[in-house]
Structure 1
Amino acid sequence: MTDRLCRLCAAILLLALSAAAPVRAASLDAGFRAFLEADIWPAAKAEGVSRAVFEAAFRGVSPNTKLPDLVLPGGKDTVAEINFQAEFKSGADYLSERAVAGNVATARKLRSRHGDLLARIEQRYGVPAPIILAIWGRESAFGAAKIPMNAFEVLGTKAYLSRRKAMFRAELIAALKIVADGHLKVSEMKSSWAGALGQPQFMPSKFLKFAVDFDGDGRRDIWNSVPDTLASIANYLQAAGWQRGRDWGFEAEIPASLSCRGEGPDKAFRIADLVDAGASRVAGRKFPQGELSTTGHLLFPAGRFGPAFVATPNFYVIKEYNNSDLYALFVGHLADRIQGAGPLVRQWRKADRLTRGDVYRMQEKLVARGMDVGAVDGLAGFKTRRSIGEAEARLGLPETCWPSKALAGRL
């Protein structure tokens, strides 16, 4: 009798949940429509977007609750326990030889095919061809990647429900302007799950600022035109501060006497001084003579558990394109490989497996102790890594500058 009652209760509960789901979806859609009319339409209209474009953009569009980093009505604003964005996962996976080598072969062929074009772009913008090719390969597999999502569904959902509503609201209005200005039709506005557009994967506001017409056909076409795509990437990096004639960085041996707490774009050193303090390039290579008197930055993308680098300011320009150390490192390393360099010398060592939620809770505890971790977001950026190193030093633990179970336990 008890089993039958339990099964009956379970069936009733399942029916109730099934009946409630359409009600919640309808309520969510109604709220979304109200948000579009009350907030997005007036802002878009003020930017010159017509009512016809606005209605076409959102015809048949509903919130896509399968997108990551959403906060549904009534839900708590917390980070996901598991991180699904590749740029913030394992360096060993992201920069594996398999991931890099295929890009190298393709990039070399494309460098030969588009040599004259790349030379003209480099002459105009000062950004080396290998860097441009590396970003093209990372962002869209040199234009071969499928980008199938409806940009207005993605951006509309995130403007309404994401943890970064203000940012995506601005991007949604910029996407409407792209159509209103005649660059694309609504049906052609396809994006990634984050709302990025075209072969260079520009967010809509970046398209409006940095996309260029390099083939002279009167359109800034980063979807189909190779000249426009490559020149737009270069224009973006030049505007972000690319220093003509400088490298992005160098894999290096950094002795323990140079603390991993010294990394970051806000801590600059003369490269000659780093050499005097014991830093050296791997495999016995020398730093270029012209770099010794310039400034560099220590970089420990996995703390003491991975390769170390002396980065130039250009490394942080690449991060303006995608704010991930691993992304910028992939681009720089791939550019080196295109020019004939070999694989990274030092290996990514095994570290404790912690979830994004684990790192988030560690950041909260570090902040409570007065340390600067940057954003409390569950991602081990350079400020979090430095604060971990500081906490390790205070607690008498080996200085690794990387999240560990040992530190979590002590905190």
Structure 2
Amino acid sequence: MRRFGAALKRLGVAVFCLPFLLAGPAAAAPSKAETEAQFRTWLDRDLWPEAKANGVSRSTFDKAFAGVKLNWKLPDLVPPGTKPTTPKEQVQAEFGSPGKYFNEKTIGHVAAGGKTRAGQHASTLAAIEKQYGVPGAVVLAIWGRESGFGGVKIPYNAFEVLGTKAFMATRKEMFRQELLAALEIVQHRYIDAGAMKSSWAGAMGQPQFMPTSYLKHAVDFNGDGKRDIWNSVPDTLASIANYLRLHGWQRGRDWGFEVNVPAGLTCALEGPDQGLKIADWAEMGITRVNGKPFPANELSGEGYLLMPAGRHGPAFIVTPNFYVLKSYNMSDLYALFIGHAGDRIAYGARGFSRQWGDVGGMYRSDIAAMQRALQTKGYDVGKADGLPGFKTRRSIGDWQAKHGQPATCFPEKALIGAIK
């Protein structure tokens, strides 16, 4: 509230207006028309001075926001006079049902498209792997997942999305920095403001980079003087590889392996903070599902247990490279999709050995309530945000074991009333 009050002062709004804007249920929130007016004032009096200080010209600023209005259909908005709430339903596929996410049609399309393009762009991919150390199959899998190898239409005006979210989203400070970076991109003439299209989250181009990521990671691989992730395949592929390299990709290591986890080994051992040498996991009875031993060069390296659906689906021993993939989109399912699709592209691998159980369909608000209940009992679930990450999964497993239940390590409807 203090930050919001300070922002209003910068906009020239009198302090006596604050009780109206921040009052409880008895006070009415501003209408959409009033909020639109506040948005235009915010652009001129709050955002513009910072953009100007960053070297953005007034003509660039005005062109970027010409005709831009708030997009009220975007998720996670917190209009002035309201408070953030946990959404009831999960709208982002990466945090929903694993079974639905690993739809064979989708992953098959990425794998087949990747194989075709592996031949088409073989020399470029070889040069990229030599320079950045990232296998071409992994780069292709990300390209296919993010933009259908450049074929998916990206519909939104980036300044509408970023402007809306910077003004009234749950993470508006983060989106403010992305918005300022987008203005910098236009100022440097990397792309025209009118052509800067994005996803509903503000991600741009064929690799779906956020603006700050573009400035840090995009490269000119074809040597034409531009970092063109919108139209250039070499620049797109190299930019993806450069992103992974700068986030710690370890040359020569795999991303992970599907494994069998003995029934007597608790699923609460999951997580990147509970790593062991892969040789140690093998000594605990974990084996690869294909019957092959773990590669000799991996045995002394650190590995981590990953069970995205708990005992209701496949299990994996992953390497640090898995978490580099996860940095691209902070979801275990996303990183697993990329690693698995890459294996299909590179080695002709088949689907997972186990089916995903019928889990992941709970309301996000119910999972958040479960997380808060676990927190009151001293469990570390991460954030009570309704997203079942590894801390939530293993906390559920520990709670189940403590109460004499089989540890499944995944939020289930039967636990809603039990954990309280």
Calculate the TM-score normalised by the size of structure 1.
0.93
Aligned to 2:161: 154
Q: Relative to structure 1, is the Cα distance of residues 407 and 44 closer, same or farther in structure 2, using a 3 angstrom cutoff?
A: same
Q: For residue 5 of structure 2, what is the aligned residue in structure 1?
A: none
Partner of 1:376: 384
Select the residue among 159, 168, 174 that pairs with 1:167.
174
- Residues 87 and 352 (structure 1), Cα distance of their counterparts in 2 relative to 1, 3 Å cut: closer
Q: CA deviation at 1:192?
A: 0.4
Does 2:316 align with 1:306?
A: no
In structure 2, what is the Cα distance between the partners aligned to 1:231 and 1:86? Answer: 27
Residue aligning to 2:407: 399
Give the residue type in structure 2 aligned to 1:396: G
Separation in 2, partners of 1:216, 1:145: 25
How far the C-alpha of 1:73 sits from its partner, in A, is 2.5
2: distance between equivalents of 1:38 and 1:368?
43
Q: Does 1:184 align with 2:191?
A: yes
- Which residue does the alignment assign to 2:24? none
Question: SS at 1:160's partner residue?
Answer: helix
The amino acid that maps onto 1:386 is R
**Residue matched to 2:9:** none
3-state SS of 2:310 partner: strand
> In the alignment, which of 70, 77, 101 is matched to residue 70 of structure 1?
77
Task: Out of 325-334 and 353-362, give the one that drifted further.
Answer: 353-362
Q: What residue is the counterpart of 2:18 in the other structure?
A: none
Secondary structure, counterpart of 1:410 in structure 2: coil
Give 1:385's aligned residue: 393
Aligned equivalents of 2:71 and 2:55: distance in 1? 27
Give matches, 1:236-255, under 5 Å: 236-255=243-262
Q: 1:32 offset after TM fit, Å? A: 0.6
Measured in 2, the distance between the counterparts of 1:45 and 1:367 equals: 44
Look up the match of 1:289: 296
8 Å CA contact 2:98, 2:360 repeated in 1: no
Alignment-derived partner of residue 26 in structure 1: 33
Whether the 8 Å CA contact 1:250–1:310 is kept in 2: the answer is yes
SS across alignment from 1:383: helix
Unaligned runs of 5+ in 1: 1-20
Partner letter of residue 280 of structure 1?
T
Given the alignment, which residue of 343, 357, 361 partners 2:369?
A: 361
Instruction: Evaluate the alpha carbon distance shift between residue 144 and residue 353 of structure 1 in structure 2; reply closer, same or farther with a 3 A threshold.
Output: closer
8 Å contact kept, 2:247–2:327: yes
2:269 corresponds to which residue? 262
Q: What is the deviation of 1:113?
A: 0.5
* Residues 165-217 of structure 1 deviation map (CA, whole Å, 9 limit, x = unaligned): 11101100000000011101110110000000000000000000000000101
Q: Which residue in the other structure is 1:409 paired with?
A: 417
Structural mapping, 1:76-95, within 5 Å: 76-95=83-102
**What amino acid maps onto 1:65 in structure 2?**
W
| 2:120 aligned residue | 113
Match of 1:55 among 50, 62, 65: 62
**Runs of 4+ more than 3 Å apart:** none
Q: Please list the CA deviations of residues 202-252 of structure 1 after superposition, one character each: whole Å capped at 9, or x if unmatched.
A: 000000000000010101000000000000000000000000001000000
Aligned residue for 2:221, secondary structure, equals coil
1:67-109 deviation digits (Å, cap 9, x = unpaired): 0111122333112111111111111111122221122111111
2:96/2:361 contact within 8 Å kept: no
**Aligned 8 A contact 1:264 1:298 in 2:** yes
Residue 392 of structure 1: how far off its partner (Å):
1.4
Asked if 1 retains the 8 angstrom alpha-carbon contact of 2:125 and 2:136, the reply is: yes
Q: In the alignment, which of 236, 243, 247 is matched to residue 229 of structure 1?
A: 236
Give the structure 2 partner of residue 3 of structure 1.
none
Structure 1 CA distance for aligned equivalents of residues 218 and 291 of structure 2 = 41
The 8 Å contact of residues 352 and 405 in structure 1, kept in 2 or not, is answered as no
1:10 is aligned to none
TM-superposed CA distance for 1:332, in Å, is: 0.2
Inter-partner Cα distance in structure 2 for 1:56 and 1:371: 50
Equivalent pairs counted in the alignment come to: 390
CA distance in 2, matches of 1:286, 1:143: 38
Q: Is the contact between residue 211 and residue 232 of structure 1 (CA under 8 Å) also seen in structure 2?
A: yes
Alpha carbons 1:44, 1:173 under 8 Å: kept: yes
Aligned letter for 1:383? K
RMSD across aligned positions (CA): 1.3
Deviation at 1:352, TM superposition (A): 7.2
Residue 326 of structure 1 corresponds to: 333
Counterpart secondary structure, 2:73? coil
Identity %: 58
Q: How does 1:342-361 map to 2 (within 5 A)?
A: 342-351=350-359, 353-361=361-369
Q: Counterpart amino acid of 1:373?
A: V
Alignment partners' CA distance in 2, 1:185 and 1:350: 46
CA distance in 2, matches of 1:285, 1:100: 24
TM-score w.r.t. the length of structure 2 is 0.91
Indicate if the aligned counterparts of 1:392 and 1:407 stay in contact, CA closer than 8 A. Answer: no
State the Cα distance separating 1:353 from its structure 2 match. Answer: 3.7
